[in-house]
Structures are given as C-alpha cells and as structure tokens.
Structure 1
Amino acid sequence: MIALPSTTHRVAPLQSVPPGNLLIHEIYLSVQGESTFAGLPCVFVRTTVCDLRCVWCDTPHAFTRGEQMTRADVLARALAFDCPLVELTGGEPLLQPAVLPLMTDLCDAGKTVLLETSGAHPVGPVDPRVHIIMDLKCPDSGECDRNLWANLDVLKPTDQIKFVIASRRDWDWAADTIRAHNLDKRFHVLVGTVFGDATPRDLVEWLLASGLNIRMQLQMHKYIWDPAARGV
C-alpha cells in the first residue's frame, strides 16, 4: 500500500487489516449504471478507504466504515448472487493488495470482472482479463495532480477511461487530454457530468462541437433511485 505523506491518515483504517483480508464497505446486486456495461445486472464489491478527496465525491461513506472479511468470504458472497458481471469499486480498491488475487479468483470462476479505479495507483499488476475503468481526474475534482500518467502505457484496448466533468474548464481539459494522448483511438472513452453541476445538455453541446468520437454517459442509478441512496 503506497500513500503520499499528506494522505497517510486517509488510509489508516487499513493498518489493522491482516494480510490476505479485505476491508469491505458493502456487497450488493444492482444494475450497472455507468461504462459500456451500463444497464446490465452487476454485483458490486465496494471496498473501504480512498486516499483521494474529490470535491464532488458521492461515496464518502466508504472512506472509513467497513467490515473485515477474508478473501474467501468476499469471493463466496459475490458468487452467491450468480451474476455474470462483478465490479470492484470503492473507495479505492487498489489500496488493498488482496483485491488483486480476488479479481483473479473471480475471473477464474468465469465472471466478467470490472475494476473502477481513480487512476492514482499502478494498474499494471491487475489480471489482464479484468476490464479496467480508470478515472482521469479533471481540475475541478481537486485531485488532478494525482493522475498517474504512466498507467496510459499499461491499459489495454478493452479498458475504459472516464472523465467526470463539473465545468467548462473540466471539459476543455478533458478534450485537450484526449487529443494529446490519442485516447479516443486507444481506449473506450467515457464522459459524464457531476450530478447536479454541469448539465447533460451542456455536455452534449460541448461534445458535438468538439468532433471527438467518445461516449457520453449518465449515472443511470441516480435517475432510477434517489441520488443519495446506498446499495443500489
């Protein structure tokens, strides 16, 4: 587990987790609300603790509260739903070393496995069968300087890069980044708005004017349920 000195206190809850175990916030069955897998039934394994503090974060409840579980118990609970699609999310899953073999276990069990990660931690050790959905943090997140750009050389064509847009400044930064790194030629690129900030209509207009061939997405679950609802 690696953390910058200024974020050490944020990962403190993991210090008491024995090797091989995980600190899990929740495991539940719902409908995938984002990515190219949106709309499909999905089991979500949400880990506890994140070392970033994006100003618009919608899951601060996962920063500290969780249950210690063995990897075998997490695997059994995820498989018990008998769902083909499983996502590891957080928090930040890659802060917990046992997440890596857990994802391999799920792949070996025949599941399609998604990893949602902030992009602040190396994705190289992730099983190549896993579909990585990696954020690149825009300026208004407050965490833009944490983007680990070396990850772009590790991601696979089947992986996805996500930008969360809170303002026109964010959009301009995202569009410049996509062009500078040819992201739309290399990966699935997803753009969505911070819920309640920049509007979906704004994003559509910016996207169409840009000429970029990338995918706009809505957070489907926030339109189905209350945006503050948990376990959905």
Structure 2
Amino acid sequence: MRLSVSETFVSLQGEGAWAGWPCFFIRLSGCNLRCAYCDTRYAYSEGEKRDIPGLVEEWRKSRVGLVQVTGGEPLLQAETLTLLEVLLNEGARVLLETNGSLALGNVPREVIKIVDRKTPGSGMKNFFLEENLGWLNEGDQLKFVITDREDYEWAKEKVIRLCLSCYTEVLFSPAWGGPVPFQLAEWIIADRLSVRFQIQLHKILWGEKRGT
C-alpha cells in the first residue's frame, strides 16, 4: 500500500496546542483547494510513491514520539487512513492536519485532528463540510487563519453563534503576510473571545525554509 509523499522531516511543531514539541512530519502530495495564502504549493503536484511500512520505519528511526500527517490534503488519499491506524498501533501520538473539505467520520478517534476552517480571505470558505464539526472533540483543534479584520469578524461570529469553544479548542492564527500579530491579539483581547491566539513558530525561527 503506497502513498504519494511530498516530504518527510523532523522539526519543532510550529502551531497549535503542541507548538514547540519535536515532531516527525509526513507531508502528503495533492490538494483539492487553492488557498490564496498557501505556503506549501509545492505539495500540489505528485510526490514520491512511498509504502506505509517504509514511512513507519523512518518515523521509528527518528526517535520522535509525535507525528503529524499533513499536506496538501492528506485525506485525498484513501491509504492515509491506514497510515494513521498503523502509526497509532506503533505507539505514536498522531496529529492530522486537514482542510475540512472531506469527511472526517472514518478518521480514528485517537488521532488529534487539526481542522483548518477556511476564512473568506483564503478564497475557499465555501468548501468546508459543516458536518465535520460533529466529529471534533476536546482534544482536537479548529483553526482559523486570519488575513484581515473581515476574516476576524467572520470567524468571531461563527465561534460565538456555534459555541465552538464549548467542545473543541479554537485557534486564531494571523496569516503570514497578513495582519501583524499584535493586531489580531488586540482584537481577541478586546472582545474577550474564547479562542487561543497562535503564531507560526517555525516561520519565526526559520522563515519560509522548507523542511521546518
């Protein structure tokens, strides 16, 4: 069983509740969306075909307990579900980053889902499957990438109306090249919004360098 893989590498987890932890990344190829601010466009095209046992062995040799399967959009490849199961069975703590446009119902519950809810500034806000919200729990994360004040107000309305923070962790992250971080932080503080402010740690450390 083989997957199209863009790259694998070890770095610090740069986002969300696990930010700062060493992490083994498996970036799969192919994506069904074209976000305006995408920073991994190289993953759109076909990558190298890799078998699952080989990927798992590479993770094991990395001596890192945390694994993130990302893309692209990893759920475009049916074999991703098998990869997640195998990693869990091998004792890994597994994160899955997904754009939320594909059904999450078959993702193992033990996998920590990081779901990117696309904002208007992405140009892709209408592709999210709203029923995916029902598959999120306290251990998962729902991320909004904020490009401007319009994005912020749009995301804030959803957080409040749907009480998103009542059942999962909600992250607001400034788009790289979007609002300066302190602006987003001040908006959140002023509104006393129940979300976690986050910033892309890996870009502060290494900029746009691949493999970080």
Per the TM superposition, whether the score is higher than 0.5 is yes
Deviation digits for residues 111-163 of structure 1 (CA, Å, limit 9, x no counterpart): 11000000111111001110000011000100000011000111122111000
Counterpart position of 2:171? 190
- CA deviation digits over 1:91-125, x for unaligned, max 9? 00000111101111111111110000001111110
Alignment of structure 1 residues 9-48 onto 2, 5 Å: 20-48=1-29
**Could you say which residue in structure 2 is the equivalent of 1:99?**
80
For 1:78 and 1:91, locate their aligned partners in 2 and report how far apart those are by CA, in whole Å. Answer: 19
Give per-residue Cα distances to partners, 1:10-48, cap 9 Å, x unaligned: xxxxxxxxxx31000011100000010000000000000
Query: Aligned partners of 2:49, 2:70: CA distance in 1, in Å?
Result: 16
> 98, 101, 126: which is aligned to 1:145?
126
1:65 Cα deviation after fit: 4.1
Task: Tell me the equivalent position of 1:73.
Answer: 54
Alignment of 1:210-225 (within 5 A): 210-225=191-206
User: When the two structures are aligned, how many residues end up with a matched partner?
Assistant: 212
Instruction: Name the % identity.
Output: 39
Number of the residue aligned with 1:8:
none
Instruction: Note the aligned Cα RMSD (angstroms).
Output: 0.8
Counterpart CA distance in 2 for 1:211 and 1:68 is: 47
- Name structure 2 gaps, 5 residues minimum: none
Query: In structure 1, what is the Cα distance between the partners aligned to 2:63 and 2:159?
Result: 37
State the partner residue of 1:108: 89
Q: CA separation in 1, counterparts of 2:199 and 2:164?
A: 20
- Are the counterparts in 2 of residues 184 and 212 from structure 1 also a CA contact under 8 Å? no
Amino acid at match of 1:104: E
TM-score (norm 1): 0.90
- TM, length-normalised to structure 2: 0.98
Q: Does 1:230 align with 2:200?
A: no
Which residue, 140, 152, 158 being the options, matches 2:139?
A: 158
SS of the equivalent of 2:113 reads strand
Runs of 4 or more consecutive aligned structure 1 residues displaced over 2 Å after TM superposition = none
CA distance in 2 between partners of 1:80 and 1:101 (Å): 20
- 1: CA distance, partners of 2:62 / 2:182: 37
The one-letter code matched in structure 1 to 2:210 is R
Q: Distance in 1 between matches of 2:23 and 2:96?
A: 12
- In 1, Cα distance between equivalents of 2:138 and 2:21: 21
Asked whether the 8 Å contact 2:136–2:167 carries over to 1, the reply is no
Q: Secondary structure at the match of 1:36?
A: helix
Task: Give 5+ residue unaligned stretches, structure 1.
Answer: 1-19
